[in-house]
Amino acid sequence: MDRLAIKGGKPVRKTYLPYGRQWIDDEDIEEVIETLKSDYITTGPKIKEFEEKVAAYTGTKYAVAISNGTAALHAACFAAGVRPGDEVITTPMTFAASANCILYCGAKPVFADIDPQTYNINPEDIKRKITSKTKAIIPVHYTGQPVDIDEINKIAKQYGLIVIEDGAHALGAEYKGEKVGSQSDMMTLSFHPVKHITTGEGGMVLTNSKDFYEKLKLFRTHGITRDENLLTKNEGPWYYEQQYLGYNYRMTDIQAALGISQMNKLNKFLELRRKYAQMYNDAFKDIEELIIPYQLPYTNSSWHIYVLQLRLEKLKVGRREVYEALLKENIGVNVHYIPVYYHPYYQRLGYKKGLCPNAEHLYERIITLPLFPKMTEEDINDVIEAVKKVINYYKK
């Protein structure tokens, strides 16, 4: 048996492979340069062009570009009318922003457990967590696997709730033959460098509601408007009004120009992500110490990340030893995510471990493998070789 690098053997890779990385080419750079040379580098025409391009791709009526994905969630909560005293249900198996945005509005995050098969929020537990204070639901398309949005919308309609999909992982994912983004009240996107397309930092809110659209536009610009149809009075062509307490959550035209160029490559990026995920699935499906990601039959994941679950009962060590061994093989693994309410800040708010047993069980066993379009098949095969090497070493 080959010895692991952690025990002094030779690693599978000579160089480190990160879990995610952006793909920027000369076309992207030229688009940004052209905008830098133009009259507008912020609040200009590239914003609207980018918004229209993403809206058309996802089949939504409106899109509002925001400074980042977290700000997009905050804006969506504001537009939904989330206020102090409200409760909003979300999943713990996500980045903290999905819950933090609720706190920004003075409301209380309520965590519903996940489905142990899909790892997405469980609609049955959503129903159990609804109270008279519940205002909205924020389901997360975890890893790019669409949630059961029809069932969640059904619950929302029954109780008069607003649904804000956190689609940071899901640009290009499909649910029952349609791109995600138009099935609920709002959906947010992130354009961080490890996401499907990047604008450096950046985000967006998608909606089919004119009312939400107008509120979102105001919120990202201090709550200020010059729209004559919205003004309470008009003192002249210079006149504007602050109608809400908004934020400076604007995206620049520089970022939007990069986003427009990136959108032209999105289908290529998705094709590669799906191809590489299938290579992983094929390689790991018959290894009894591993559980590959499950996909609902009526969904098509956008594969933001590839999460492998360990059957710890079949291994001589825990997740940490496997994780560290893979790092020694120069494989840039990660863990997505630490349950939100595990964080010290949430613990000080009174949240305790034991809230969501399925999420907690999953967290102890998952490892995120590298997955991004800039990878090559050779890179994928290196990851496969390293995983098999480590699992063979540690299996019982």
Active-site residue numbers? 195
Q: Cα–Cα distance between 215 and 207 in angstroms, integer?
A: 11
Backbone angles phi and psi of 143, in degrees to 5: 70, -5
* Contacts of range 310-318, beta carbons closer than 8 Å, 24 or more positions apart: 310/365, 310/366, 310/367, 311/365, 312/364, 312/365, 314/288, 314/289, 314/395, 314/396, 315/289, 315/391, 315/394, 315/395, 315/396, 316/394, 316/395, 316/396, 317/394, 318/364
Q: Which residues contact 89 (CB under 8 A, 6 or more apart)?
A: 110, 111, 112, 126, 129, 130, 134, 136, 137, 138
Given a contact cutoff of 8 angstroms between Cβ atoms, the answer to whether 169 and 141 are in contact is yes
Q: Cα–Cα distance between 99 and 369 in angstroms, integer?
A: 25
Q: Which residues contact 189 (CB under 8 A, 6 or more apart)?
A: 54, 69, 72, 167, 168, 171, 195, 203, 204, 205, 206
According to DSSP, the residues that pair with 66 across neighbouring strands are: 203
State the DSSP string of 119-141: -SB-HHHHHHH--TTEEEEE-B-
List the structure tokens of 132: 């008279």
